[in-house]
Amino acid sequence: MAQDETVWVDDLLAGLDRTGPVPLYFQVSSTLEEAIRSGKLPAGARLENEIALGQRLGLSRPTIRRAIQELVDKGLLVRRRGIGTQVVQGGQVTRQVELTSLYEDLKGSHHEPSTTVLEHDVRPADETTASALGLPPGSDIVYLRRQRSTDKVPVAVLVNYLPMDFADITTQQLEERGLYQIMRNRGVTIRIANQKIGARRAEDDEAELLDLEPGGPVLTMERVAFDASGRAVEFGHHCYRPDMYSFETTLVAK
């Protein structure tokens, strides 16, 4: 077991790049993460202590600590004072709920997502929407209603409200990419999002769009997203076919 650790630590040492733009702590943490997910570092394996690890890699202790902390936050490692650092037990290596769109989620899981734009226009915001986006009531906003499918099976009905900066997004763009990717290409990066997940009965048109029995259950998500400057750039409320989609999270106590 100690053997395994030594092996990949040497790999890691060989792979460190001090000239490139990638932070050292990130190089260490991502190599470690790969080793854990691949099983090279099995569940329960103990890491060397932080000082020794640092010396072996030619890094300072704070840098090593930061790398380890990243993985603790992801729920892959557990640290205990006086004991050491261990790989978490069990098969509980789920990926975090990322700040990505459904489109990227589906694409990442080897499915072929497709989008049908149902509605796409400019209209005055109602009170809820204006408040969520931090705009004066009645301001114009971009309204968007899409049906998202994977492998030709409908998964979700997505309703979004966007500030007028995005009025020139075309319907074609929306059918080819995820909303967040379109935004990123325009220099807008989502930084913070508040989500609320719930359930309710499907409306009649939703049931039809999702190929569900009328009044059947749907999973719902409401989200307000903010860019780096803290400006609200998206408000949406979506509903999902519960047999096709669910939300997975890893929580780590602080």
Q: Which does 78 bind (CB under 5 to 8 A by kind): DNA, its own copies, none?
A: its own copies
| 62 is a contact residue toward DNA (CB under 7 A) | yes
Q: Using CB under 8 A, which of 39, 42, 62, 124 touches its own copies?
A: 62
Site string for DNA, 7-46 (x = CB under 7 A): --------------x-xxxx--------------------
Q: Using CB under 8 A, which of 6, 49, 55, 94 touches its own copies?
A: 94
| 61 is a contact residue toward its own copies (CB under 8 A) | no
Q: Which is nearer to DNA, 40 or 79 (CB)?
A: 79
Distance, C-alpha 37 to centroid of its chain = 18
Q: Using CB under 7 A, which of 5, 30, 56, 79 touches DNA?
A: 79
Q: Using CB under 8 A, which of 63, 177, 232, 238 touches its own copies?
A: 232
Q: How long a stretch of residues is the chain?
A: 254
Residue with token string 């109602």:
126
Q: Which does 217 bind (CB under 5 to 8 A by kind): DNA, its own copies, none?
A: its own copies
| 155 is a contact residue toward its own copies (CB under 8 A) | no
Residue type at 249? T
Q: Which of 108, 96, 109, 120 is nearest to 181 (CA)?
A: 108
Cα–Cα distance between 187 and 55 in angstroms, integer?
40
Q: Which of 147, 166, 138, 151 is nearest to 210 (CA)?
A: 147
Q: Which does 250 bind (CB under 5 to 8 A by kind): its own copies, DNA, none?
A: its own copies
Q: Looking at 74-82, 119-127, 145-153, 162-170, which segment touches its own copies (CB under 8 A)?
A: 74-82
Please check whether residue 41 is in contact with residue 32, taking contact to mean a CB–CB distance below 8 angstroms: yes
Dig out the tokens for 126 from the structure. 């109602």
Contacts for 238-243 with beta carbons within 8 Å, 24 or more apart? 238/102, 238/156, 238/157, 238/158, 238/159, 239/156, 239/157, 239/200, 239/202, 239/206, 239/210, 240/155, 240/156, 241/154, 241/155, 241/156, 241/210, 241/211, 241/212, 242/199, 242/217, 242/218
| 185 is a contact residue toward its own copies (CB under 8 A) | no
Residues 5-44 that bind its own copies (CB under 8 A): 43-44
Rounded to 5°, angle at Cα 74 from 88 and 227: 175
| 190 is a contact residue toward DNA (CB under 7 A) | no
Q: What are 236's strand-pairing partners?
A: 160, 223
| Contact residues: its own copies, CB under 8 A | 43-44, 62, 75, 78, 80, 86-90, 92, 94, 97-99, 134, 189-201, 216-220, 224, 226, 228-232, 240, 242, 245-253
| Contact residues: DNA, CB under 7 A | 21, 23-26, 47-52, 58-63, 65-66, 79-85
